[in-house]
Every structure is written in structure tokens, then in C-alpha cells.
């Protein structure tokens, strides 16, 4: 499909020109903290600038909602209600700034608050994940069907970062003992593929910003896994400040985790 070829070319070019030259090569003053241990680098900004220009050439006229743009101008979030691009210019900036993997680029197209097309690009390996609503999930041209790890207990990546103290303690006492815990990659561009490719079985996300999750949720669901809110409702990009999201390698694993989580609220 011409759109996907154009997107892959753009992501590869941005990676080669704006991102990789700075990997393990950031000068003093080229890393800043946006607050709350949320770093941004000169590469994030350069990448977002190039992506905005490139996306406008691919499909002109769509609203642009980029992570770094929103940090400067929160009113850009208004674009999430209409036809828009949603862009994380470097997902996993914490890793990138520390000179380690994983990190990638996340892009989604959305209309009326729902993502319908998404791309996940691994800057180091070139892995190119594509999803379109109702048409399946792909890595390159190969269709992907989500598979669990097959391990007992199931493998879970549970981030406690954005939870309050009570939530953390409840997770440790009532959720984590039922799973084999694995590392948190601090990178949605890595976490969502892990949930489909037999690496992880389930993951919990507390913060659900659109640029972190729009592409990954769509891709995992199209692969036959499940990502949704704890009440079973679909993830919407215009509910960017709503908390709580579970992704899993299968609907059954999603149900099991959500049942446990909802029991905490009972």
C-alpha cells in the first residue's frame, strides 16, 4: 500500500537524519527535563519537526498532535477530536537519553476520537509494525497473530510509575503474585510488540497519553490480542487524560487481569 511505503520511508529517513546521529552523542544541554522525570532531547524536537513536514506531504490538511508540540501548546490536544496525526517523535526518550535501547517512533491517524491506522517503528532494528482498523496487524508485509508466551504463571510487565502509593501496594499484594514479572521497557513501541510476539502476556498502563498508546492499542487489537479500559470500553485518543489500560496477548488473559484489578475496587 502506497501510504505504508511512504510512511516507512519517512520513518527511516527521520531516524537516520534526526535520531541516530544523536544516539550516545548528546552534548551537555541537549537533554532537558519537562518535569516529573520526563526528559526531552534535541533529537525529539528535530524528529517531530521532520515528521510534521513529512506527514503533511503524505496527507495534507490533517491536524497534528505531537508530544513535544503539546508540551509547548496544550491547545493542540483539541486536534484529537477530529481528523489528525498523533505523533511520538521518540518513544522511549528516557532510554535514548541514557544511550540504551529500546526506543522508536509511534504514529497514528485518528478520526472522531478513534485511531484507525497506526505505525510503530523500532529505530535500531528497523522493525516496522502497521495496523489498519479491520485489516489486521503486520510487521512489514507479514501478517501477525498474537500468541501468548505459554508460561505458567503468565508473564506480566507492570509499571508502577504513575500510580499512587495505595495503588502500588495493592498491586504488590494482590496482582503481582499471580504473574511472573518481567522488565518494563519504558517504551510503548517495544511493549506492544512484546504482547503479540510471545514475549509478554499482559501489561498494565496507568498513564494513557494518545501518542504513547494510539498506534499500539490498534496494532495489538488487530493482531487478535486485546487492549482496552478496565470497564471493557475501547481506548479513545480524545480521552487522553483518563487513567488505566490493560493490554494482553489474548482476550482471555485480558479478562483474567481485569477481573483481578476490578476486585481491588470492590
Question: What are the strands, taking DSSP E only, across the chain?
Answer: 31-33, 39-41, 63-66, 84-91, 104-111, 114-122, 128-132, 136-139, 142-144, 155-158, 180-181, 202-205, 226-228, 245-248
Give the strand order in the sheet containing 142-144: 63-66, 84-91, 104-111, 114-122, 128-132, 136-139, 142-144
SS3 171: helix
Which grid coordinates belong to 54? 513529512
Provide the annotated binding site for Mg(2+).
67, 88, 90-91, 212
CA contacts within 13 A on the Cβ side of 10: 26
Within 10 angstroms of residue 205's Cβ, the number of other Cβ atoms is: 24
- DSSP characters for 9-46? HHHHHHIIIIIGGGTT-PPTTSEEE-SSS-EEEHHHHH
Provide the annotated binding site.
67, 88, 90-91, 212
Amino acid at each position: 500500500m502506497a501510504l505504508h511505503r511512504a510512511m516507512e520511508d519517512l520513518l527511516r529517513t527521520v531516524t537516520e537524519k534526526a535520531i541516530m546521529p544523536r544516539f550516545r552523542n548528546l552534548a551537555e544541554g541537549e537533554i532537558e527535563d519537562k518535569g516529573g522525570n520526563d526528559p526531552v532531547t534535541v533529537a525529539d524536537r528535530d524528529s517531530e519537526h521532520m515528521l510534521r513536514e513529512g506527514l503533511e506531504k503524505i496527507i495534507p490538511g490533517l491536524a497534528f498532535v505531537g508530544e513535544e508540540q503539546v508540551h509547548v501548546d496544550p491547545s493542540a490536544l483539541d486536534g484529537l477530536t477530529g481528523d489528525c496525526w498523533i505523533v511520538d517523535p521518540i518513544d522511549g526518550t528516557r532510554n535514548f537519553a541514557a544511550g540504551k535501547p529500546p526506543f522508536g517512533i509511534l504514529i497514528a491517524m485518528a478520526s472522531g476520537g478513534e485511531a484507525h491506522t497506526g505505525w510503530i517503528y523500532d529505530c535500531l532494528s528497523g522493525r516496522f509494525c502497521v495496523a489498519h482498523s479491520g485489516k489486521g496487524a503486520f510487521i512489514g508485509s507479514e501478517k501477525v497473530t498474537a500468541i501468548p508466551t505459554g508460561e505458567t504463571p503468565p508473564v506480566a510487565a507492570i509499571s508502577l510509575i504513575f500510580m499512587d502509593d495505595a495503588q502500588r501496594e495493592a498491586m504488590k499484594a494482590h496482582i503481582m503474585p499471580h504473574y511472573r514479572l518481567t522488565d518494563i521497557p519504558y517504551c510503548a513501541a517495544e511493549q506492544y510488540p512484546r504482547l503479540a510476539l510471545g514475549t509478554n502476556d499482559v501489561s498494565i498502563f496507568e498513564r494513557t497519553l494518545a501518542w504513547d498508546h494510539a498506534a499500539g492499542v490498534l496494532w495489538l487489537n488487530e493482531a487478535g490480542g486485546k487492549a482496552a479500559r478496565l470497564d471493557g470500553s475501547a481506548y479513545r485518543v480524545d480521552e487522553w487524560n483518563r487513567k488505566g489500560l490493560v493490554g494482553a496477548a489474548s482476550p482471555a488473559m485480558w479478562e483474567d487481569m481485569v477481573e483481578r484489578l476490578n476486585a481491588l475496587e470492590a
